Amino acid sequence: MTMDHEQAFVTLATNDSYAKGAMVLGKSLRNHKTSKKLVVLIGPHVSDQSSSVLHKIYDEVKLVDVMDSGDTAHLAMMKRPDLGVTFTKLHCWTLTHYSKCVFMDADTLVLSNIDELFDREELSAAPDPGWPDCFNSGVFVFRPSNETYGKLLQYCTVHGSFDGGDQGVLNGFFCDWSTTDITKHLPFIYNMSSIAIYTYLPAFKQYGANAKVVHFLGQRKPWSYTYDPKQRRVRGEIQDATPHPSFLVDWWILYSSEVVPLLLRAYGDLPFHSG
């Protein structure tokens, strides 16, 4: 039998901006009473203050410095310097003290308990709306394994990434995802991209109420907007005639009520901009 403490949600933040995302994600997992461990991989550019806040929310905060590591990851990185963050993300396969994990991008927000994802096998993921025979690598189930880790680095070094990021590498490596096993297709509501609302609004109205994870993929991230707490509105958010729940506002409500207080305490007298 698999014990809950052998399973973890894992995310990644290489800088203080993505660290804000990781804080909100961690809070959203806790608020929906996950029974799993929470792990965040951080890069060396994350400040001590951010790191201390992450320690308050996550069970494990692991510094991952590919450049320092002197192992195969370092070697791979020397050959493909363009794939920096990608190599850091692949590091999640080295978390071998867990038997199974769910990776989640730092720009995701959990809307209900999703512990049932651990019933799935590696590599389970939801389709990418841009090219739906690819899975989106913002949410995926995997089994930590040094062997798989080595093969992934090898694959990366030889083939690179067709999109320059981890999604291209992972789709190249797990290339039978679209044709082999339907149980490895997570429902889209476990990784609903915020833009899907606009591309096919009737489907969003039909199925979106069941969304469990929203993913703010693309250029603009929640923390790059400005929030007006009095009006509970995000400035510059796309608005349309049909009002629908604003996931951006949900993100900001959680950030300002549960994350900003922790950041203020961590920064003490140092200047800190809550966004």
Ligand X SMILES: O=c1ccn([C@@H]2O[C@H](COP(=O)(O)OP(=O)(O)O)[C@@H](O)[C@H]2O)c(=O)[nH]1
Contacts with its own copies, residue ranges (CB under 8 A): 126-134, 162-164, 168, 178-182, 185, 187-189, 196, 199-200, 202-207
CB 132 within 8 A of CB 37: no
Stretch that binds ligand X, among 6-14, 178-186, 232-240, 248-256 (CB under 6 A): 6-14
Query: Is residue 105 a contact point for Mn ion (CB under 5 A)?
Result: yes
Q: What are phi and psi of 11, to 5 degrees?
A: -135, -175
Stretch that binds ligand X, among 66-74, 102-110, 120-128, 231-239 (CB under 6 A): 102-110
- The least CB distance from residue 215 to Mn ion, in Å, is 6
Of residues 129 and 138, the one with the C-beta less far from its own copies = 129
Query: Is residue 138 a contact point for Mn ion (CB under 5 A)?
Result: yes
> From edge to edge, which strands make up the β-sheet containing 213-215?
108-110, 213-215, 192-193
Query: Is residue 106 a contact point for ligand X (CB under 6 A)?
Result: yes
Query: Is residue 128 a contact point for ligand X (CB under 6 A)?
Result: no
Among 9, 18, 174, 252, binds ligand X (CB under 6 A): 18
User: What is the Cα–Cα distance from 68 to 66, expressed in whole angstroms?
Assistant: 5
Query: Of 175-234, which residues contact ligand X (CB under 6 A)?
Result: 217-218
- The least CB distance from residue 58 to ligand X, in Å, is 13
The answer, yes or no, to whether the previous bond of 152 is cis (omega within 30 of 0) is: no
Q: Report helix angle 146-159 to 166-173, nearest 10.
A: 110
For residue 196, CA distances in Å to 127, 178, 186, 217 come to: 12, 20, 16, 10
User: What is the Cα–Cα distance from 46 to 38, expressed in whole angstroms?
Assistant: 18
Stretch that binds Mn ion, among 31-39, 47-55, 135-143, 186-194 (CB under 5 A): 135-143
- The least CB distance from residue 172 to Mn ion, in Å, is 19
User: What is the Cα–Cα distance from 162 to 90, expressed in whole angstroms?
Assistant: 16
Report the partner that residue 12 touches, choosing among Mn ion, ligand X, its own copies, none (CB closer than 5 to 8 A by kind).
ligand X
Of residues 85 and 201, the one with the C-beta less far from ligand X = 85
For residue 227, CA distances in Å to 167, 195, 203, 249, 251 come to: 30, 19, 28, 8, 10
Of residues 45 and 205, the one with the C-beta less far from its own copies = 205
- The least CB distance from residue 120 to ligand X, in Å, is 20
Q: Cα angle vertex 188, ends 164, 127, to 5°?
A: 35
Give contact residues for ligand X (rule: CB under 6 A).
Answer: 11-15, 18, 85, 89, 105-107, 138, 217-218
Give contact residues for Mn ion (rule: CB under 5 A).
Answer: 105, 107, 138, 217
